[in-house]
C-alpha cells in the first residue's frame, strides 16, 4: 500500500523529478501580478543607462584630466562585460525595469563592435605584410625572427629592435628576405626591392619611425614603420600619453604628405583604433582588422591580449584578410594581413 501511494504521488507531480528549466519558469511565474517588478531595480536601470551613454558618447569624455577619454577608448570593448553582471542582478532583483534598461547598452555595444564578430576574411590578396614588436629584452631573438619569417609575409616590420640585436635579426632573416633597412629601433624586411628609405620625424629626439618604397610586381607602395611612445597609467597622473599623441600627429602629417597613393602603415602605435588621440592617422587610413579580420585581433599583452595596439593600416589598397600570428618570446603578438594592390600608385 505504501509503495502504491508513493507511485500515485509521483504520477501526480507531487515529488517527482524536476525537468530542466522548471526553476527558471517558476521564477518568472512568480513575477506575475507583482507590481514591484517595475519599482525595483531603479539603480540597476540607471547603471545600465550610464553604461550605454559611456559607450555611445565615449568621444565626449574629456582628456584634460588624466587622459580619461583615451583610457576609456583603449578598453572600450571590455565595457560589454558589465552587461551580463547587470543582467544577473536584474534577474535576482526581479526587476522588469532593469531588464528593459539593459537592452540599451546591448544595442550600443552591438552597434559599435557587432561587426567584429562577423568573419570578414577573404582568400585572395597580392601581398602579405606582418608587423611585430619583438621587445628589446627578448631572450630569444633568433627564434622570434624565424617564427615571424615562417608566416610567409612578403614584407615584415619589426619594432623595438635594440642596436645590439640588429645583427642577430639581420642574420636570422637573411635567408627569407633579400632586402632590408633598419632606422633607429625599427626595421623593414622585404622580398621585393626597397628604395627611398628614410627616417620619419615623430618628434621624439631619437629614431622610431621610417618610410620606404617597396617595388612589388604590381608597382610601388609606400611602407611606413612606426613605434609610438609608450603610455602609462599612473595613480597621480592618470593615463599619460602626451608624447604618444604628439608623435601620432607628426606621423599623420607625414602620411598625408606621401606622394604615392598606395600606403601601408605597420607598427606598434600604443593605441587602439577607438583612441581619438590617433585621429591624425586613423582618419586617413583603414585598419585591416576592422575591414577584413575576424574578431577583435587583440595583440597586447601576449599572455592575455586585452587591446589591439599593434596595427596594420592601409590607404589606396584593399584589405583582404587580417589575423594575429602565434605568440613568440615577445610581450606582443605579431599581426599579419593580406591586401590587394589593384589600385594604381
Same domain, 94 and 33: yes
Q: How far is CA 133 from CA 75, 128, 186, 310, in A?
A: 20, 17, 9, 8
Same domain, 108 and 201: no
pLDDT at 297 over 60: yes
Least confident range from 1-10, 212-221, 246-255: namely: 1-10
Q: What is the pLDDT of residue 31?
A: 61
Average pLDDT, the chain: 89
Residue 69: name the closest of 271, 230, 210 by CA. 271
Same domain, 175 and 294: yes
Predicted confidence band at 236 (pLDDT cuts at 50, 70, 90)? Answer: very low
**Of 117, 144, 160, at which residue does a domain stop?**
117
How far apart CA 209 and CA 186 sit, in angstroms, is 6
pLDDT at 339 over 80: yes
Same domain, 90 and 169: no
The DSSP result for 323-336, as a single string, is EEPPP-SSSS--EE
pLDDT at 29 over 50: yes
Least confident range from 9-23, 88-102, 128-142, 305-319: namely: 9-23
For the record, the C-alpha cell of 345 comes out as 600608385
133-166 tens-digit pLDDT: 999 999 999 999 999 999 999 999 999 999 999 9
Predicted confidence band at 257 (pLDDT cuts at 50, 70, 90)? Answer: very high
Same domain, 37 and 144: no
18-27 tens-digit pLDDT: 555 555 555 5
* 191/21: higher pLDDT: 191
How far apart CA 115 and CA 334 sit, in angstroms, is 23
For the record, the C-alpha cell of 211 comes out as 618610410
The arithmetic mean of pLDDT across residues 33-45, rounded, is 83
pLDDT at 294 over 70: yes
Specify the number of domains making up the chain: 2
Same domain, 281 and 186: yes
Q: Is the Cβ–Cβ distance between 227 and 267 less than 8 Å?
A: yes
Same domain, 86 and 223: no
The 10 Å Cβ neighbour count of residue 323 is 19
Predicted confidence band at 182 (pLDDT cuts at 50, 70, 90)? Answer: very high
Same domain, 196 and 289: yes
Q: What is the pLDDT of residue 28?
A: 55
Residue 326: name the closest of 126, 132, 120 by CA. 132
Q: What is the pLDDT of residue 161?
A: 98
**Of 93, 117, 141, at which residue does a domain stop?**
117
Asked if residue 122 belongs to a domain, the reply is: no
- Percentage of the chain modeled with pLDDT above 90: 75
The side-by-side arrangement of strands in the sheet containing 286-287 is 194-199, 209-216, 219-227, 263-268, 310-315, 286-287
pLDDT at 240 over 70: no
**In the block, residue with C-alpha cell 534577474:** 91
Q: How far is CA 104 from CA 56, 77, 116, 118, 342, in A?
A: 10, 15, 19, 21, 42
pLDDT at 270 over 90: yes
Asked if residue 87 belongs to a domain, the reply is: yes
Same domain, 158 and 289: yes
The arithmetic mean of pLDDT across residues 26-46, rounded, is 75
**Of 83, 117, 151, at which residue does a domain stop?**
117
Q: Please list the residues that pair with 123 across neighbouring strands.
A: none
Asked if residue 20 belongs to a domain, the reply is: yes
Q: How many CA atoms lie within 13 A of 302 on its CB side?
A: 17
Same domain, 230 and 95: no
Same domain, 183 and 88: no
Same domain, 111 and 135: no
For the record, the C-alpha cell of 230 comes out as 609608450
> Phi and psi dihedrals of 344, rounded to 5?
-65, 150
Question: Could you tell me the residue range of the domain that residue 330 belongs to?
Answer: 127-340
Asked if residue 207 belongs to a domain, the reply is: yes
Q: What is the pLDDT of residue 232?
A: 63
Predicted confidence band at 38 (pLDDT cuts at 50, 70, 90)? Answer: confident
What one-character DSSP code corresponds to residue 123? S
Asked if residue 345 belongs to a domain, the reply is: no
Amino acid at each position: 500500500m505504501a509503495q502504491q501511494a508513493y507511485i500515485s504521488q509521483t504520477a501526480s507531480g507531487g515529488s517527482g523529478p524536476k525537468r530542466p528549466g522548471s526553476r527558471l519558469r517558476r521564477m518568472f511565474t512568480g513575477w506575475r501580478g507583482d507590481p514591484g517588478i517595475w519599482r525595483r531595480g531603479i539603480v540597476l536601470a540607471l547603471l545600465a543607462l550610464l553604461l550605454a551613454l559611456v559607450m555611445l558618447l565615449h568621444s565626449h569624455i574629456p582628456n584634460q584630466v588624466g587622459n580619461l577619454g583615451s583610457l576609456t577608448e583603449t578598453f572600450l570593448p571590455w565595457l560589454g562585460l558589465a552587461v551580463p553582471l547587470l543582467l544577473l542582478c536584474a534577474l535576482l532583483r526581479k526587476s522588469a525595469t532593469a531588464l528593459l534598461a539593459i537592452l540599451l547598452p546591448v544595442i550600443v555595444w552591438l552597434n559599435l563592435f557587432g561587426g567584429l564578430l562577423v568573419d570578414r576574411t577573404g582568400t585572395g590578396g597580392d601581398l602579405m605584410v606582418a608587423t611585430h614588436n619583438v621587445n628589446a629584452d627578448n631572450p630569444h631573438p633568433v627564434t622570434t625572427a624565424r617564427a615571424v619569417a615562417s608566416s610567409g609575409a612578403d614584407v615584415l616590420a619589426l619594432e623595438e629592435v635594440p642596436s645590439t640585436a640588429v645583427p642577430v635579426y639581420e642574420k636570422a632573416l637573411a635567408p627569407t628576405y633579400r632586402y632590408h633597412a633598419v632606422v633607429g629601433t625599427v626595421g623593414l624586411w622585404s622580398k621585393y626591392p626597397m628604395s627611398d628609405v628614410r627616417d620619419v620625424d615623430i618628434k621624439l629626439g631619437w629614431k622610431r619611425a621610417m618610410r620606404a618604397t617597396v617595388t612589388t610586381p604590381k608597382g610601388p607602395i609606400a611602407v611606413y614603420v612606426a613605434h609610438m611612445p609608450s603610455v602609462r597609467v599612473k595613480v597621480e597622473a592618470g593615463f599619460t600619453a602626451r608624447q604618444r599623441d604628439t608623435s601620432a600627429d607628426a606621423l599623420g602629417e607625414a602620411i598625408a604628405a606621401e606622394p604615392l597613393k598606395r600606403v601601408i602603415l605597420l607598427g606598434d602605435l600604443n593605441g587602439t583604433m577607438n583612441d581619438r588621440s590617433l585621429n591624425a592617422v586613423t582618419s586617413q587610413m583603414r585598419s585591416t582588422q576592422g575591414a577584413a579580420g575576424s574578431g577583435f585581433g587583440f595583440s597586447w599583452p601576449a599572455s592575455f591580449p586585452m587591446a589591439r595596439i599593434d596595427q596594420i593600416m592601409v590607404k589606396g589598397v584593399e584589405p583582404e584578410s587580417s589575423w594575429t600570428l602565434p605568440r613568440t618570446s615577445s610581450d606582443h603578438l605579431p599581426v599579419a594581413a593580406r591586401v590587394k594592390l589593384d589600385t594604381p600608385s
